[in-house]
Amino acid sequence: MMKKNLLVVNADDFGYSDERDAGIVKCYRNGYISSVSLLVNGVNAENAAKLAKQHNISTGLHVNLTEGHTVGHGYRTLVRNGCFLGKFGFRDAVQEGKIDISEIRREVQAQVDKFRVLMGDGPFHADGHQHIHVIPGVVETFAAVLRENGVKVTRLPRERGVASEVWTTPQQAEFMKEIVQQSESASHVFASHTLWTCQCFIGLRTMGSNMAVDKVTSHLDQVYVANTCSYDKQPDKASVMTCEWMVHPGHVTSGEGGCGEGPDDFSKSHDRQHEMNILSQQALRNTYTSMNITLANFQECFAAINS
């Protein structure tokens, strides 16, 4: 019996801007992606939710604790001047014990509640903006809130080969290695809360200008052909192989965007457009065919594994 190879190509940051969302919808309608994660505090979240329902896009929650305005109110430690503490500011504050964990719980719940209002139902899958959901001290609360709200699937960004990658800056290298290391312990937390994750994950090494067809093909080969996935689920013995590929496509944000503080440099650069261009390449379609890969959403992967 031939192994079923399923790939979730998930576009993060849906709701960030009109331009981003237009690009994501175009990718979905053309079959380049199979799932999205919605920033409910994004300035375009309401319209993004309408687009998701209009085009029947499989949509999960992109929990944001680092960028822009909060969804909930009355926080003392989670914000500064009315906004989140930033990508590294939040991490530093958690590590130094300066964040009231109950505020994290309240904000994650507020974002789940807003997702339900926007989409008409709770999320089937949820992940963390800038990978906040695997941070020690955060992951336990994140997982508990998801379980309490019936979420079935989350992201485990434990990607093989990150340590040997050549990164743009030492800070970026350290950040990527930290994500993978934190994912090791997070995997046990997710399992204890009955949160399912794809067997493999790629995307840390293919963000923005780093994305190239030959690079993606090499990573997919490691997952589906060589079976050198870094997870503990013995994929070589499974009849179904599931992998999540995290992507960030979209047109360049030239107008309003972000989560209340304006768009970031990544959104205003051509990196998003570059990802769209790579995702549309016929050579990538050929890779899927040669490796017997079918694009799927998280519900389809979950059902295939549990059938």
Sign, CA torsion 60/64/68/70: positive
Distances (CA, A) of 282 to 27, 30, 262, 278: 14, 12, 35, 9
Q: Which of 12, 13, 21, 127 is catalytic?
A: 12
The answer to whether residue 127 is catalytic is no
Positions annotated as catalytic residues are 12
